[in-house]
Structure 1
Amino acid sequence: MSNISHIYSSYSDALDFSREKFDDLYTSRARNASDFYHTFFHQLICPLNHHFTDPASLRTLHRQIEQFFGTRQLDFVAIDGTCGKDPFQDFVVFSACAYGAKGQINLDDDPPTVQYKKWTMDKDVSMVTYIPVPFSEFADVVDQDRPETFLVSDSERVDLSNIDTRIMELAEIYLAYNVATSSALENIWRLAKGISQYVEKLPWVLS
């Protein structure tokens, strides 16, 4: 066997070995996940499909909604955000924005409908943040409680900082507050994450 053939044969064997390890790993994890679901996790799942397919359950649900909100036409705002980080030669720019899509749920329609509406031009429903940070001052804005890690470049520090994500979450919270305190009060506010996920970060938000 020539040297080239030996190299390619060894390379093929290495790929086959890695592929087998990969398949075994994911097969084992899938089996463990299935066992966990059937032995424990399925007990925590509450099927709600019958509440939305049974006519009697739907009438009860609509009546409870009307009693709670005092109307059968619910205005809502669905808030979501996006973020980014752009490193340049001497500084990095963190950007984030949040936007609220306005809509209405009409329970009088059969079945109930969801309709999105346009905001008026004088209504600001966005929150935008644009923060340039020099690399020389980057250590002052990162999480001081993060364990020390060996990082060899500024780009690695930027990637691990998660500052842009936190700014986006803060923008979503401020936008939800602005919508909640506005004169045209909506019935429902839907954030991109669960309330518990925001509460988890409240110490950072309030600091």
Structure 2
Amino acid sequence: MADTTLWAELLAFGTGLALSPIHLGVLLLLLLGPKPIQRGSWFVTGWIVTTLVTVILLLTVGHSLVLDMTQGSHHRTALDLLGGGALISLGLKELLRSFAAGEEQPAWTHTIERFINLPLPLLIAVGALTELISPDDLFLFAKTSAVVLAASLPSWQEIVGLVFFTFGSSLLLLIPLVAVIIGRERVIPLLQSGKQLLFAKGDLIVGGVSFALGAYLGWQGISGLTIVI
């Protein structure tokens, strides 16, 4: 996998997936609560497994359908245009909501404060379900599988690419977890500050990420149309 553009795309998509305020918020609350290492580790493991299994399944389906996913193909162009339009709309909606709310915390912050009281297996299941039904995440999963499929790589390099994407998508969860494992008492003030910032600016983060991803996918789709035409 020598194509640096492919690596850059996988890292960008992974980073976009990583910027999930709901999952980051749940993890921060877990790390600030009882049994932080145990509960936090299982939650992050659930995220990693869900991410890797999802992209592997999508890639497997892509191979079985034998779709032409080269740059400019109808399939990939349609995915980019539809995904770009949907994400731009979602991003604008979240940005407008964040500006209208002002200093008020988003409604989802109260929901996740109740989530952390769930039994751990149920909490992990809810976290996986939330990841799979998020429009941003769904398009990122599909786009990641599409670019790996289009690269026509050997099987082992495809797996390396998906692992790289999964690592990038998990980095923002791994950093606070590792910090707590190394020395929880020293990072508690940082965790508290991070939680307050995330809860105050969560909609702004979601909106900004969605809009940026939508603009990128839209540009990719328009580029594909010029090649098709």
- TM tier relative to shorter chain: under 0.3
What TM-score does the superposition give when structure 2 sets the normalisation length? 0.21
Higher relative contact order (CA 8 A, sep 6+): 2
What TM-score does the superposition give when structure 1 sets the normalisation length? 0.23
Bigger proportion of residues as helix: 2
